[in-house]
Amino acid sequence: MKRFNGQFTQQEALSPEAIEAAVTVLQHGRLHRYNTLGDELSETALLEVDYARYQEARYCLACASGGYALHIALVASGLKPGDVVLTNAFTLAPVPGAIRNAGGDPVFVEVTDDLVIDLDDLSRKARDTKARFLMLSHMRGHLVDMDALMALVDEHDLILIEDCAHTMGANWGGRKSGSFGKAACFSTQTYKHINSGEGGLLTTDDPELIAQAILLSGSYMLYERHEAAPGPEQFAELRYVTPNCSGRMDNLRAAILRPQLADLDRQVERWNERYRAVEKTLEACPGITVPMRPEKEFYVGSSIQFLLDDLDGEGTEKFLSECLRRGVELKWFGAAQPAGYTSRHDSWRYACAQSLPQTDAVLTRLCDMRIPLTFSVDDCRLIGELIAEARGAI
């Protein structure tokens, strides 16, 4: 039996430029973002400028995590305790966690076989709940029809916060993911598109939102040391009524992110080459359906998802075992119990129990696989072949 021997959790080493930047910070010892000399701009402030430019946004805030960015984006957008926040039923736990942390009540919206939010169910639930907020999770890098989504946002007067943890570098019709809503949140956790171990970025064009977010992040009265931010007049009154909920990024993480950001577009090309190598084999495999990618979507293929046709939960478990025998590590979002980073809506018992039959049917058949850049294109072709072989064995 052929077998793959690579590691699905092994990331590429940081570049010499990133390592040099980290050593410079370690040598001068000024790790805290506000620990600067004279008119020096900290690495964190420079990262915010760099990322705002990359994202084509007016403002940016670097945070301790993507989940923290989601939390303060909601608070700074005016979320009040008990407010309903609509969000995809297929997402990762930090999304409903951020909603609950901000005081909101998550209401989950069904997802389609293409792993995007169901726009018909979204419209119904927006009308029935009279929700003010939509936290749209571009889960595992899949973009819904953003033109149709924005029409619904306008129709129901929703405040849109985009969770772009998996779509940094992606776009819809040439417009960057994260540029559609009132704010967007990105992750720099190890398995995302730039890697600081943990970290997050919040972007917006709204000066009041970013001012509140900066204060919430724990800027004390040092907000003037932010370059990708509005002027001090925006903070004049807010500084007295906005609590400090410390969640800053530090200079060490920012320093290693800046060289990675400069190289991101090249890395996206490498991910997509590997994604297509797996996708090509799976699309030809009987019993497997790969979600459709719309023509207007430019994605980042750092992971791949597919559905198993005509298999129940027991059959899916057998398939996963067959893949593992061949060295291919897949995750299953339909498992009854949370495992690792995978969980489903009924595991998040801090949210009200909700009936989501369409989503449940999708998750029962859904498999997920990381595509680290430590894999070669040939590795990815082999992995596709092994998955197809395991499907044929069920």
**What pLDDT is stored for residue 340 in this prediction?**
87
Are 173 and 315 within one domain?
no
Domain count, the chain: 2
**What pLDDT is stored for residue 144 in this prediction?**
98
What CATH number is attached to the domain comprising 291? Answer: 3.90.1150.10
- Domain around 159: 16-262
Opening angle at CA 274, ends 111 and 284, nearest 5? 65
Q: What is the DSSP letter of 324?
A: H
Q: Is residue 308 part of a domain?
A: yes
pTM: 0.97
Q: Is residue 1 part of a domain?
A: no
Write a three-state SS string for 55-116.
HCCCEEEEECCHHHHHHHHHHHCCCCCCCEEEEECCCCCHHHHHHHHCCCEEEEECECCCCC
Q: Order of strands, edge to edge, in the sheet holding 159-163?
A: 59-63, 200-204, 183-187, 159-163, 133-137, 84-88, 105-109
Percent composition of the chain: helix, strand, coil (DSSP 3-state, to 5): 40, 15, 45
Are 387 and 375 within one domain?
yes
What are the mean pLDDT values of the chain's consecutive 10-residue runs (394 residues total)? 93 97 98 96 98 98 98 98 98 97 98 98 98 98 98 98 98 98 98 97 98 98 97 97 97 98 98 98 96 97 96 90 97 90 92 96 95 98 97 90
* Full DSSP string of 353-379: P---HHHHHHHHTEEEEE--TTS-HHH
Q: Is residue 11 part of a domain?
A: no
Do 136 and 160 contact (CB within 8 A), yes or no?
yes
Task: Name residue 111's beta-bridge partners.
Answer: 117
**What pLDDT is stored for residue 313 in this prediction?**
83
Q: Is residue 209 part of a domain?
A: yes
What CATH number is attached to the domain comprising 178? Answer: 3.40.640.10
Residue that is last in its domain, among 231, 262, 293 = 262
**What pLDDT is stored for residue 94 in this prediction?**
96
Are 188 and 300 within one domain?
no
Are 74 and 155 within one domain?
yes
Do 131 and 86 contact (CB within 8 A), yes or no?
yes
